């Protein structure tokens, strides 16, 4: 079965991020965190009319609300009615590259440390909450 086209294909990123992907030997790429996360990101951004109203994460991240979509419900309805693109018919290539580079950065050593710190603080903040009675 042929792969559907992704809005954020692997390698469609900023130059330094693309260079890090290209510099690694082919046989090491399958275990490399940046390669793994960029492949997951590519797969996650394949449009499907039957799932999430055809929206992919890049659409949601880059969506720009106006007065027409102040509430979450209004925003979702506006996205659905427009086929996923309310104000930008196609995501701007530079914006897609910046988002892809950010996702890729999360797989770097510094990015993973950041995620671990976030998860620890999130768990700590939520472990102190009491259940509603």
| Helix intervals (H) in the chain | 15-23, 33-44, 57-62, 72-81, 93-105, 109-127
CB 91 within 8 A of CB 58: yes
Eight-state DSSP code of residue 103: H
Least confident interval from 20-24, 38-42, 64-68: 64-68
Q: What is the pLDDT of residues 48-97, one digit of tens each?
A: 766 676 778 998 898 776 665 566 667 677 766 666 544 445 788 999 99
Prediction pTM value: 0.76
């Amino acid at each position: 079965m042929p792969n559907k086209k992704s809005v954020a294909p692997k390698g469609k990123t900023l130059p330094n991020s693309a260079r890090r992907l290209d510099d690694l030997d082919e046989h090491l790429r399958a275990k490399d965190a940046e390669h793994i996360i960029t492949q997951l990101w590519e797969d996650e951004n394949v449009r499907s009319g039957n799932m999430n109203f055809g929206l992919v994460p890049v659409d949601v991240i880059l969506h720009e609300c106006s007065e027409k979509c102040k509430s979450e419900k209004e925003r979702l309805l506006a996205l659905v009615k427009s086929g996923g693109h309310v104000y930008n018919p196609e995501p701007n290539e530079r914006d897609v590259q910046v988002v892809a580079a950010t996702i890729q950065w999360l797989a770097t050593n510094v990015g993973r440390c950041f995620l671990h710190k976030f998860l620890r603080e999130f768990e700590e903040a939520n472990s102190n909450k009491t259940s509603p009675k």
